[in-house]
Amino acid sequence: MEGGDSLKKSLSSLHDVIDGKIGHGLETRVLQGLHVTHAERIFMRFDFLVPNAVSEHVEIESKVGANRGKLVHVAVEVRRKGNGEVIAVGKLWKAVNKLTPQ
């Protein structure tokens, strides 16, 4: 895993949510099956076992497409683990300020 301090902070924040140290109880329950399989400065890949309510094994890939100072563009793809079929795609621009976790 490569990337430096910002990557370490992101992974630490993610693990804090998964462990229930920050965030809401719902986030903790939903993210229990999430495992980081690869992480770089602008790219993360996860293995995620969806909770029994949905009962579907998926792979999640996220990429930072652009970083424009206080604006960050992120794209996320969710695929079936077995055959790679794309189930969902999400894209967003995120405004970063001093209160936003990095």
- pTM comes to 0.53
- The span from the CA of 31 to the CA of 48, in Å, is 8
Q: What is the pLDDT of the chain when averaged over all its residues?
A: 83
What is residue 93's three-state secondary structure?
Answer: strand
Name the residue with higher pLDDT: 16 or 99. Answer: 16
How many structural domains comprise the chain? 2
> Which residue range(s) make up the domain with 35?
1-52
Same domain (yes/no): 11, 30: yes
- The span from the CA of 5 to the CA of 95, in Å, is 20
Same domain (yes/no): 35, 9: yes
Mind listing the pLDDT tens digit for each residue in 67-102?
Answer: 888 888 999 998 888 888 898 899 998 887 776 665
Count Cα neighbours of 64 within 13 Å in the Cβ-side half-sphere. 17
pLDDT of residue 97: 76
